[in-house]
Homo-oligomer: A and B are copies of this chain.
């Protein structure tokens, strides 16, 4: 399955649609906390693939969901993701001055505002999602989706993964620990939008569990692909510095298993994810193609 012209066109169209949805949910830059709203919007408007809202929208569509109900969640998952990037870039964590070619939030607004506006985005994600109750036929569907988002974001999800990552920084790590970190730091924020998208469209527990497993594999494959790109790309191709893992003595799938084995693992995880989604007998060809596209960014 390649990236045909149609797929690229569709991807572009959908990404533009998502940009519009996200913008509708951003806070107004006014009042005494204007600077905080500006800092939140600065990072939210810094570009990016909008992959997580896209996965939410497509999984929701696959189960025949009402997009209006999914939209607050689409904006929210991007807020949650962006909040984690702002905090990752802080001096106390990765200490990055640039992201996507622009100064990072704390470089523009100061470190205190970096911490606070990151938190404010996470909190605003909840404020935004709560709005979905006002249009839901069944409030318990929204409650279920909220529960997924909260769990996958927190101690037992992405933040737990970040915690283990910070704690093991620069230390030798085995596959078990690396898997934990990838499955939480990365996969959890793929599982959250795909499961929320499914649940908001009425998917049952069994379907939601299959979506979760597929999303876990996609996240893991995506992260392994990142490890590979850091080694084989030029910084022009990647749009960010390469060989950073080597410089930071970071343990990755590539340092543990070598490029070839890492690439084979990413491919098999991606295949398994597509098979799982196809087993649901819900048709979304674009989603299947998207997964394949995500894991073959080198082509």
Contacts and interface: CB of A to CB of B under 8 A. Distances in A.
A113 B150 contact: no
A260 interface: no
A280 interface: no
A130 B115 contact: no
A130 B146 contact: yes
Contact of A112 (B116, B124, B160, B166): B166
A163 B40 CA distance: 12
Contacts of A164: 32-33
Contacts of A119: 83, 87, 118-119, 122, 159
Contacts of A120: 154-155, 159-160, 163
Contact of A87 (B27, B115, B127, B155): B115
Stoichiometry, copies per complex? 2
Nearest to A167: B35
Contacts of A35: 163, 167
A111 B90 CA distance: 10
A38 B215 CA distance: 29
Interface in A19-41: 27, 31-33, 35-37, 40
B93 A112 contact: yes
A108 interface: no
Nearest to A114: B92
A181 B32 CA distance: 9
B166 A113 contact: yes
A133 interface: yes
A73 interface: no
Given A155-B27, A160-B32, A133 B123 contact: no
Contacts of A140: 133, 139
Nearest to A39: B163
Contact of A180 (B32, B143, B150): B32
Interface in A136-190: 139-140, 143, 146-147, 150-151, 153-156, 159-164, 166-167, 177, 180-181, 184
Interface of A: 27, 31-33, 35-37, 40, 83, 87, 90-93, 110-120, 122-124, 126-127, 130, 133, 139-140, 143, 146-147, 150-151, 153-156, 159-164, 166-167, 177, 180-181, 184
11 contacts: A32-B181, A36-B163, A87-B119, A92-B115, A113-B163, A113-B167, A122-B122, A123-B153, A123-B154, A126-B150, A127-B150
